[in-house]
Chains A and B, each alone.
Chain A
Amino acid sequence: MSEVIWGLATSHVPSIGAAMDRGVTADPVWAPLFEGYAPAREWLADNTPDVAILVYNDHANGIDLDIVPTFAIGTAERYEVADEGFGRRPVPDVVGSPELSFHLLQNLMDDGFDLTVFQELDVDHGFTVPLSVWTPQPGDAWPCPVVPLLVNVIQYPQPTAARCYALGKALGRAIASFEGARTVGILGTGGMSHQLAGARAGFINPRFDAMFLDAIENDPEKLAALTREDFIREAGSEGIELIMWLVMRGAMNAQVRKVHSAYHVPASNTAAGLALFDNRTAQPA
């Protein structure tokens, strides 16, 4: 029996990782963002799980447009850090947990989620930046093994928010029946509002982001009801990444306790958000 102990939602903007890799996190443009992370990092350092699951998307680094899996799970012992064109980030490769991967695969398939399976995939900033947000100084290894869960958010039609939330719920059930670990952390990544291309490039919607940060804690069903068009209009064409937060949220209890949240504009062209929830809290009767 395993238990999700926490959920961490965070943006995965490449420049956040680059700022850390270049040691410029104390510079005036970056300091407010990283100060916002500090309380979450402190809490996470005291709450290391046995294993983590990280929901993310690739950005033309591990996979291309030949095959676009809607949902995919990694089953490898190890995932290398991708070279995105400017050398790989100076962070450790990711140690996986095939045992948990196969357990999740079997249970999710039986629950109606027909996942693609990958056995080799280099992980890009979508994966490593959230790990760095969690653990700024990993040394030789990340705090625990991590299982990648890949979501297509780049090529339309992306899975619906409702389907992501349902996948999260199935994931929560699958985790509960896993005998090989006791504690599990889950990360939902991407967002918040941003748009990279078109005349609306640079679009940021702080009102939507504030609503999302509140509802991801208190009313995820409301977010699960949003359409793709809602996301693209309200959060920008790349803000649709926020559907991945719903996978994380779905795997958690109805009631969660917020440990910390933070919001900062900008990280490059993006509104950066973080929300950390403790899942070990009394549930409504």
Chain B
Amino acid sequence: MTSRISPDLPGTYVFDGPTSRRGFRMNKLFMSLRSEAARTDFLADEPGYCARFGLTDDQTEAVLERDWQAMLDLGGSIFYIYKLAMMDGHSMQYLGGVFTGMSEADFKAAMLAGGRTDV
């Protein structure tokens, strides 16, 4: 049997092994933000905090710029990225808006109208 690779579906991230390898350090950073003390440390020196977790330059920039799309592209898992978004006071609907080029209000309205059934 040949080895199966993860499916390639348009507009869809599949968090597979290679992606998880790529984002490993960055996802660890995100998970650390569950604790108040870590959030305080992070906010006091974001570049230093990224360096401490061993993020690549690209990942550090994505985190500092809050470039949510880049975080996904650089191996972030949405469940981990969400920890940073929550710290900033953002909802999952806000992120949904970012990923789909909609405002948070429009994204919420689309969900309330039954979700995006045509994508």
List chain A positions with a Cβ less than 8 A from chain B: 29, 59-61, 64-65, 83-86, 154-157, 193-206, 228-229, 232-233, 236-238, 265-266, 268-269, 271
Contacts and interface: CB of A to CB of B under 8 A. Distances in A.
B99 A198 contact: yes
A204 B116 contact: yes
B12 A268 contact: no
Contacts of A59: 79
A203 B6 contact: no
A269 B28 contact: no
A232 B14 contact: yes
A59 B15 CA distance: 13
Given A59-B79, A84-B34, A203-B119, A197 B7 contact: no
Contacts of B60: none
Contacts of B11: 198-200
Contacts of A84: 34
Interface of B: 4, 6-7, 9-17, 20, 24, 27-28, 30-31, 33-35, 72, 77-80, 82-83, 86-87, 91-93, 95-96, 99-100, 107, 110-112, 114-117, 119
B24 A237 contact: no
B17 A203 contact: no
Given A197-B78, A203-B115, A206-B117, A85 B87 contact: yes
A229 B115 CA distance: 21
Contact of A233 (B7, B93, B114, B116): B7
Contacts of B7: 228-229, 232-233
Given A202-B111, A229-B7, A232-B7, A85 B100 contact: no
B33 A202 contact: no
- Nearest first, the 3 A-B pairs at minimum CB distance are A204-B115, A199-B11, A200-B11
A199 B16 contact: no
Contacts, number: 132
A61 to B, nearest CB: 7
Contacts of A236: 12
Contacts of B79: 59-60, 154
Do most interface residues of chain B lie in helix, strand or loop, or is the interface mixed?
A: helix
B16 A196 contact: no
Contact of A197 (B13, B20, B87, B117): B13
Contact of B100 (A60, A61, A64, A199): A199
Contacts of A205: 117
Contacts of A266: 111-112, 114-115
Contacts of A86: 86
Contacts of B16: 155-157
B77 to A, nearest CB: 7
Contacts of A228: 7
B9 A65 contact: no
A179 B40 CA distance: 51
A65 B87 CA distance: 20
Contacts of B33: 85
A155 B86 contact: no
A125 to B, nearest CB: 11
13 contacts: A60-B30, A84-B34, A86-B86, A154-B77, A157-B16, A198-B99, A201-B95, A201-B96, A201-B116, A202-B115, A229-B9, A236-B12, A269-B92
Contacts of A154: 15, 77, 79
Contacts of A156: 6, 14-17
